[in-house]
Amino acid sequence: MSNYHIKHLEEYWQVYRNSVRNPENFWEEIAEEHFLWRKKWTNVLSWDFAKPEVKWFEGAELNITENCIDRHLATRGDKTAILFEPNNPDEETLHITYKELHERVSKFANVLKSQGVEKGDRVCIYLPMIPELAVSVLACARIGAVHSVVFAGFSSTALATRINDCDCKMVICTDGSYRGNKTIDLKGIVDEALKSCEGVSTVLVAKRINSEIVMQDGRDKWLQPLLDKADTVCKATIVKAEDPLFILYTSGSTGKPKGMVHTTAGYMVYTAYTFKNVFQYRESDVYWCTADIGWITGHSYIVYGPLANGATTVMFEGVPSYPDYGRFWEIVEKHKVTQFYTAPTAIRALAKENLDYVNKYDLSSLKVLGTVGEPINEEAWHWYNDNVGKKNSPIVDTWWQTETGGIMISPIPYSTPTIPTYATLPLPGIQPALMDENGNEIKGNQVEGRLCIKFPWPSMARTIYGNHGRYRDTYFSAYKNNYFTGDGALRDAVGYYRITGRVDDVIIVSGHNLGTAPIEDAINEHPAVAESAIVGFPHDIKGNALCGYITLKETGEGRNHDNLSKEINQLITDRIGPIAKLDSVQFTNGLPKTRSGKIMRRILRKIASKDISNLGDTSTLLNPEVVNELIEQAGL
Ligand code: PRX
């Protein structure tokens, strides 16, 4: 039996039991046999969820890029590490071998050094899905700098907040980006953001769309001439196991985004291990995850997990609908993709289109299909299974979070029998628990509750950058000695988990986590708005869409509601990004509130979902008449 590579269900159970009985031994063996260490650890794990403090492989020293690149050079130097598929299908595919990746990362790392970036410094990366994105991430890791990748669809305000929150001294961007048949002025967004970021002294600009941009003297530098001059060798900076590797922001239910801090050794071990098992990766496979590296899925399962296994990982710059809805399948055929990992929202969007877009292509190379980001509905699951997998490729419905760093609950393909909508079983080392509202664990099967994790795992985020108290309050205070995920889940008769969705004020729209508070803050900035509340409602493609309930100030009364809605959506786009726009707006005279002044979102959610059959207890409402008014207005 190998703990590292599970090949059938019995083995899974054996490995799982072993991992729970003796977690330290379990992870120690995996770490020892499958990675390159410059110094071994003195202690596998120390932890205290009350503080909270978690340390894995303390005393160890390493560099993650030596594990992701250097150690493959002898055996896989000419193997494609990154297969870059551009937005425009007429542009050439790039095959970057491990040798070439080594050279590119080394040069980029030398550029970072030459620009004054040192170990521990934070570097903001605001790039589209081009090779420079993966290379700059790895270049930071090469010299022990901490990358903070910001998804290049975020607005200038959102970018500025993230740059300032972790004091980045450098931003890496492009002149612009392609998105289907559109271009986006990324450098313009960066310029706008930097008006309020005093700490940034250098902007490195890669050329992508060859647009005319303004370069600020002394601050902005073209990347290519610097790379041309850079040395092709850059000795890896050796870091400690618990040194931070990156910061990645995620939305919370309140306030500003949370900069989740991931550290080096545990993250590396866990993402590599889960990549190997969840995708059953074999040496000649071509693996493709369609996520953006701006999200955790891209960090863990486009860059670090695959490269740590010496895999070929596809990076796709474009969108599923360009030049037509067959693009994904064309790429699968062209590169004989073996594992394909995407989001339910993409599946739903493609399922709406003509099946010819799928059937035109030879998808017989596929062995494993994956989904992530939100619960997958049964219809989408079947469409994926029938038309893409031809009922031959198991679907791994992978549940995890930015905070968990790696996949937590998922089938092992060809081992775990799958059921639509079930993420199925915890991966080795993961100890889930379901809790009731009073904070007690609900034991046994066929139960539903709030999903917690009882025991540390190597890739868990260690803190929120600059705010450890918020980290403790958000994840470790609701259930004593447990990590609380914010999700609800049920466990069926055989112990399979099904994630039922968020139980807090985070709404997942097209697979993106959106906190209600920042959106409401943006809306409330409008001079005509008195107050607002955002809720999610079911949407065919996005999973959830946003509905805003808005009350106006006297000055706003009588104003055209369509115009107001447009202005409000523009504000949201400016402050957060287009992903947070409202699909529906209802202007109202009041919001349903409890006597303590809390908005009862539960009721708004029901109205927005057009389901008012059971509004629950409304006796604590201060203004029950508002509810009737809202129902009437919605025409229900
Ligand atoms: O609610 C869960 C949902 O996405 C949340 C985490 O979002 P984020 O940090 O952006 O990471 C997404 C990619 C890992 C979770 O709390 N979620 C993620 N995967 C699933 C899911 N819900 C149901 N099923 C999933 N497979």
141-200 pLDDT, tens digit each: 999 999 999 999 999 999 999 999 999 999 999 999 999 999 999 999 999 999 999 999
Locate the ligand 1 atom nearest the alpha carbon of residue 502 and give its number. Answer: 1
**Rounded to the nearest whole angstrom, what is the distance from the C-alpha of residue 373 to the centroid of ligand 1?**
4
Residue 505 pLDDT: 85
* CB burial of residue 7 (10 Å; 0-12, 13-18, 19+): middle
- How many whole angstroms separate alpha carbon 428 and alpha carbon 408? 9
- Please give the order of strands across the beta sheet that includes 395-398: 94-97, 80-85, 312-316, 286-289, 339-342, 368-372, 395-398
Res. 596 pLDDT band, cuts 50 70 90 = confident
Mean pLDDT over 403-429 rounds to: 97
Q: What is the pTM of this model?
A: 0.94
Query: Each residue of 488-513: pLDDT tens digit?
Result: 999 999 999 999 999 988 999 999 99
Query: Each residue of 387-413: pLDDT tens digit?
Result: 999 999 999 999 999 999 999 999 999
Residue 213 pLDDT: 97
Tokens 């081992």 belong to which residue?
415
Query: Each residue of 532-563: pLDDT tens digit?
Result: 999 999 999 999 999 999 999 988 788 899 99
- How many whole angstroms separate alpha carbon 286 and alpha carbon 298? 16
Mean pLDDT over 447-472 rounds to: 98
In the predicted structure, residue 420 carries a pLDDT above the cut 70:
yes
Q: Is 274 in the pocket of ligand 1 (CB under 6 A)?
A: no
Residue 1 pLDDT: 57
CA distances in angstroms from 634 to 25, 347, 523, 585, listed in the order given: 59, 30, 21, 10
Residue 616 pLDDT: 79
Cβ atoms of 466 and 257 closer than 8 Å: no
Query: Each residue of 231-287: pLDDT tens digit?
Result: 999 999 999 999 999 999 998 766 689 999 999 999 999 999 999 999 999 999 999
Locate the ligand 1 atom nearest the alpha carbon of residue 407 and give its number. Answer: 14
Q: Is 288 in the pocket of ligand 1 (CB under 6 A)?
A: no
Among 301, 348, 374, the mutation site with the greatest number of ligand 1 atoms within 8 A of its Cβ is 374
Q: Is 401 in the pocket of ligand 1 (CB under 6 A)?
A: yes
Residue 614 pLDDT: 84
CA distances in angstroms from 631 to 535, 547, 558, 626, listed in the order given: 15, 14, 21, 9
Residue 187 pLDDT: 98
The residue whose CA is least distant from atom 5 of ligand 1 is 401
Mean pLDDT over 132-145 rounds to: 99
**Residue predicted with more confidence, 179 or 593:** 179
Percent of the chain surpassing pLDDT 70: 99
CA distances in angstroms from 543 to 81, 346, 536, 633, listed in the order given: 33, 10, 9, 24
In the predicted structure, residue 600 carries a pLDDT above the cut 90:
no
Q: Is 536 in the pocket of ligand 1 (CB under 6 A)?
A: no
Return the sign of the alpha-carbon dihedral for residues 361, 364, 365, 367: positive
Locate the ligand 1 atom nearest the alpha carbon of residue 402 and give its number. Answer: 9
DSSP conformation letters of 219-231: TEEEHHHHHHHS-
The residue whose CA is least distant from atom 3 of ligand 1 is 374
Locate the ligand 1 atom nearest the alpha carbon of residue 403 and give its number. Answer: 9
Q: Is 410 in the pocket of ligand 1 (CB under 6 A)?
A: no
Of residues 465, 250, 280, 246, the one with CA closest to residue 366: 280
Residues in the chain: 636
Query: Each residue of 606-626: pLDDT tens digit?
Result: 999 999 888 877 777 888 889
Q: Is 373 in the pocket of ligand 1 (CB under 6 A)?
A: yes
Q: Is 423 in the pocket of ligand 1 (CB under 6 A)?
A: yes
Of residues 486, 528, 481, the one with CA closest to residue 504: 486
